Chain A
C-alpha cells in the first residue's frame, strides 16, 4: 500500500495551484461568477494548454493518458480555489463516456477538440423527478435512417447551458439504455439555462425529435454499465473537489480565529472554538482518506459502487460538518457573498447532494450490511 503521491503528481498539483492562484483573486473570481457562463474561457484555455483538459484521455485521442490519481490531484486544486471552470461537467464525465463507449472514429473526432478546449460537452442524464441512482430513463430514441431522433426532457443538466455537444442517455428502440451524441444547436433541442445555488450554471434540455448519433456505433448495446462506471468516477472527482474545498474552508477558519478580535482577544483564545476547529480537522482527514480510497480503487481498475458510496458518504458528512462550522465560527461575515467562506459552504452543500446524498448512500450500504460479517477494504 502506498498513499503518497509521486513527484510528478505533486508537481501537477502545484502547477495547477499556481495557475489558478494567478487567474483568480477574490475579486476577479466574483466578477467571473457574475458573467453569463459563470466561468472564464481564458482560464479554460490555460488549463487546455497545460494539458489538464485532456489529462485522462488516451494519447491517440489527444490526451496524456493519465489516471484517476492525476484527476484527483487536479480536482482538489480546483476545489481549493473554488475555480468555477466545469472540468468535471464538460470534460471528465461526458468525455469519459465518449472514451469508454465511443467508436475510434467518434473518439478521434470529439476528444482532441475537448482536450484542446475548443469543444464543450455535457452529460444529460437526470430527468425530472429522478434521484440517484437514476437508472430509469424516459427519454426515448427512435431510429431515423442511419441515425436516431430523441424526445423527452433532461433536467438538471450541469453546465448544459454552455455545452456544444450533449451526451444523452435514452431508451433504445430495442430496449436498454443507449448513449447519444446531440449537437446543442440541433433542431429540436431547446435549452433553458439557469444559475444554481452554488453559483454554477445548468440547464433543462427539451428534446423534440432531435437528431442524434448513437455513441459506439450501430452495434452498441445497453450502456447502463458504462453510465454506472462513469458516475462512480464522477463521485471520486467530486470527493476530491470537496476535500480541496474543505481544506481551504478550514484554513480560512483557522486564519480568521487567529485574527478576529472580540472581547479584547483573538477568537483563538476561546477553547470552545479551537476545539471545534480541531474537530473540523478530524473530519477533513477522514474525508481525505476516503477520497484516496475511492481513487486508489479506480486506479486499480475496480469500479465498485459500494466503495464509491462509502467514500462519498464520509466526504459528504465531513463537508457538511466543516461547511456549517466554518460559517458559524465566522459569524455574520460567513454568510456574505463578498467573503469567500460562503462560497465553499454553498459548493460543499451542492456536492453533498450530487450523485447521491447521505440518505441514498446510507440506503445502498444498509441494504447490503447483512450480507457480510467483517467490513473490509
Chain B
C-alpha cells in the first residue's frame, strides 16, 4: 500500500493545475466556484480551450483525440479540473455519445461526428427517458419505422437536459416492437433537433429555471445512416453510455470546493457572539460531511488505482449514490449558512448577499442528483443484485 503519488504523477498534476488556472477564464471559473449560471457560450468557450489543448476527451481512443493515460492520470485530470472550478467538458458529448460512436459507430459515422463532438461544434442532448419510461428505460415507446433509406420517428421524450441549447439529439427508439425481450427491439439514432417534426417544450423546475424539456417527434424523417451500430442493438450501447454517466456524477472535487466556499461564508456569518464556523455544532456537521467525502474519495481512488481496463466496476454505484448525496449535503449546508438571507430570490438591491439568495433554489434543484443518472434506489438494486447476489 502506498498513499503518495509518484513524482511523475505529481508533475502531471501540477501541469494540469497550472493549465486550468491560467488558460480557462477566471470569470467562468468564478461562476462555477460560486454556483452562478453558466451561459451556453461559457460552456463552449471552456470546452474548446480544453479541446484545443487535447484535454476535453482524454478517455476517447487516441485516434479520435484521446490520451493513452493511466486510470490515475485520468483521475488527476478530472480531479484538478473540478478543484480549479473548470466547467466539465459537455458530458453529453465527452462522456456519453462520443465514446459510444467511437466504440460502436461505423467508420463514416466516426469521421462525420467525432471531431465535431470533441470540439463541441455539435451540442448533443440525450433523448432516453419518456413519460412512462424512467427508471424502467427499456419500456420506452418512441418508434422508428424503416421507410426506404430513412426511419420515421414518432413519440415523446422527457427531461431532456438543455435541449433548448442543443444541435443534435441521440435518441433511443423502438425499431422492433415484436422482439421477444423489450431490450432487444431498441436502436440508437442521431438527428438534428431542427429536423421537421421535432418540437421542444420547456419544463420549469422547482428553482424556477429552465433546464429540462419535453421533446415531441411527429413523423421525423431520420436518414438511416444516422443509426449507431446495428439495428436493435441500442440497449447494449445505452448500458455502455449510462455506465460512463454514473461515474461522472460523483463530483468529489466539486463538493470539496463547495465545502471550502461554505467555510468562507460561515466564517462571515454572525452567530451569537462569534461566527457560525466557530459554533461547535455547526463545525461538527461540516466536519462530518468532509469526512464522508474523504471516505468517498478514497473509495474512488481504490477503484482508480486498481481498475483493469474496460471491466465495469460495480463500485461505480457506490460512487454515484454517495457522490450525489454528498452534493446534496453540501448545498443544504450552504442554505443553512445563508439563514434568513436565503429567502429573497433575485432580490437585487437588498442587504441579502447574492450568494445567499442562490442557496435556496440551488438546494431545491440539487434534489435531482439522486434521481437522474440512475436513481439511488436503482443503484441500491444494482449493489444488491450484482454485488451481493440478492
Determine the chain B residues whose CB is within 8 A of the CB of A350 once the complex forms.
343, 360
Instruction: Kindly provide the distance from the CB of A356 to the nearest chain B CB, expressed in whole angstroms.
Output: 10
Q: Mark B349-362, 1 if CB is under 8 A from A, else 0.
A: 11110000000110
The CA-CA distance from A274 to B162 in the complex, in Å, is 33
Asked if A1 is at the interface of the complex by the 8 Å CB criterion, the answer is: no
The CA-CA distance from A350 to B232 in the complex, in Å, is 48
Asked if A15 is at the interface of the complex by the 8 Å CB criterion, the answer is: no
Instruction: Kindly provide the distance from the CB of A103 to the nearest chain B CB, expressed in whole angstroms.
Output: 31
Asked if A328 is at the interface of the complex by the 8 Å CB criterion, the answer is: yes
Say whether B339 contacts A262, CB under 8 Å.
no
Say whether A331 contacts B205, CB under 8 Å.
no
Determine the chain B residues whose CB is within 8 A of the CB of A263 once the complex forms.
135-136, 139
Instruction: Kindly provide the distance from the CB of B28 to the nearest chain A CB, expressed in whole angstroms.
Output: 25
Say whether B347 contacts A194, CB under 8 Å.
yes
Stretch at the interface among B61-69, B252-260, B373-381: B373-381
Determine the chain A residues whose CB is within 8 A of the CB of B204 once the complex forms.
336-338
**Known A-B contacts A155-B350, A331-B134; A336 and B205 likewise in contact (beta carbons under 8 Å):** yes
Most buried by A among B129, B270, B336, B340: B340
**Known A-B contacts A335-B364, A359-B282, A363-B279; A128 and B351 likewise in contact (beta carbons under 8 Å):** yes
Asked if A9 is at the interface of the complex by the 8 Å CB criterion, the answer is: no
Most buried by B among A197, A202, A273, A335: A197
Determine the chain B residues whose CB is within 8 A of the CB of A357 once the complex forms.
336, 339
Say whether A336 contacts B350, CB under 8 Å.
no
Asked if A192 is at the interface of the complex by the 8 Å CB criterion, the answer is: yes
Say whether A332 contacts B371, CB under 8 Å.
yes
The answer, among A194, A261, A349, A362, for a CB contact under 8 Å with B346, is: A194
Say whether A131 contacts B271, CB under 8 Å.
yes
The CA-CA distance from A195 to B271 in the complex, in Å, is 26
Interface size class of B (residues with CB under 8 A): 35 or more
Determine the chain A residues whose CB is within 8 A of the CB of B377 once the complex forms.
270, 272-273
The answer, among A196, A264, A328, for a CB contact under 8 Å with B343, is: A196
B interface majority secondary structure:
mixed
**Known A-B contacts A332-B158, A346-B206; A204 and B361 likewise in contact (beta carbons under 8 Å):** no
Say whether A338 contacts B203, CB under 8 Å.
yes
Determine the chain B residues whose CB is within 8 A of the CB of A194 once the complex forms.
344-347, 350
The CA-CA distance from A129 to B271 in the complex, in Å, is 9
A interface majority secondary structure:
mixed
Determine the chain B residues whose CB is within 8 A of the CB of A130 once the complex forms.
270, 340
Asked if A76 is at the interface of the complex by the 8 Å CB criterion, the answer is: no
Say whether A335 contacts B347, CB under 8 Å.
no
Say whether B279 contacts A197, CB under 8 Å.
no
Say whether A337 contacts B208, CB under 8 Å.
yes
Say whether A195 contacts B372, CB under 8 Å.
no
**Known A-B contacts A332-B158, A362-B281; A156 and B371 likewise in contact (beta carbons under 8 Å):** no
The CA-CA distance from A264 to B133 in the complex, in Å, is 10
Residue of chain B at shortest CB distance from A362: B281
The CA-CA distance from A332 to B281 in the complex, in Å, is 34
Say whether A128 contacts B206, CB under 8 Å.
no
**Known A-B contacts A353-B336, A359-B282; A204 and B206 likewise in contact (beta carbons under 8 Å):** no
Asked if B370 is at the interface of the complex by the 8 Å CB criterion, the answer is: yes
The CA-CA distance from A172 to B205 in the complex, in Å, is 46
Instruction: Kindly provide the distance from the CB of B128 to the nearest chain A CB, expressed in whole angstroms.
Output: 12
Q: Mark A142-160, 1 if CB is under 8 A from B, else 0.
A: 0000000000010110100
Asked if B52 is at the interface of the complex by the 8 Å CB criterion, the answer is: no
Determine the chain A residues whose CB is within 8 A of the CB of B339 once the complex forms.
131, 353, 357
Asked if B220 is at the interface of the complex by the 8 Å CB criterion, the answer is: no
The CA-CA distance from A338 to B206 in the complex, in Å, is 9
Determine the chain B residues whose CB is within 8 A of the CB of A331 once the complex forms.
134-135, 371, 375
Determine the chain B residues whose CB is within 8 A of the CB of A353 once the complex forms.
335-336, 339-340, 342
Instruction: Kindly provide the distance from the CB of B322 to the nearest chain A CB, expressed in whole angstroms.
Output: 15
Determine the chain A residues whose CB is within 8 A of the CB of B347 once the complex forms.
192-195, 202, 204
Asked if B299 is at the interface of the complex by the 8 Å CB criterion, the answer is: no
The answer, among A156, A324, A337, A342, for a CB contact under 8 Å with B352, is: A156
Determine the chain B residues whose CB is within 8 A of the CB of A262 once the complex forms.
134-136, 139
Say whether A197 contacts B368, CB under 8 Å.
no
The CA-CA distance from A202 to B360 in the complex, in Å, is 15
Say whether B132 contacts A261, CB under 8 Å.
yes
Question: Using a CB-CB cutoff of 8 Å, which residues 127-183 of chain B contact chain A?
Answer: 129, 132, 134-136, 139, 158-159
Asked if B367 is at the interface of the complex by the 8 Å CB criterion, the answer is: yes
| Sample (27) of A-B pairs whose CB atoms are under 8 Å apart | A129-B341, A155-B352, A195-B346, A195-B347, A196-B344, A196-B345, A197-B207, A197-B360, A202-B347, A204-B349, A262-B136, A262-B139, A263-B136, A263-B139, A270-B377, A273-B377, A324-B367, A328-B370, A332-B129, A332-B134, A332-B212, A332-B371, A335-B205, A345-B206, A353-B339, A357-B336, A357-B339
Contacts A129-B269, A197-B342 given; 18 further ones with Cβ under 8 A?
Answer: A130-B270, A131-B271, A132-B340, A153-B351, A192-B349, A192-B350, A195-B345, A197-B207, A204-B352, A262-B139, A272-B377, A332-B212, A337-B204, A346-B206, A349-B364, A353-B340, A359-B285, A363-B281
* Chain B residues at the A interface, C-beta cutoff of 8 Å: 129, 132, 134-136, 139, 158-159, 203-208, 212, 269-271, 279, 281-282, 285, 335-336, 339-347, 349-352, 360-361, 363-365, 367-368, 370-372, 375-377, 380-381
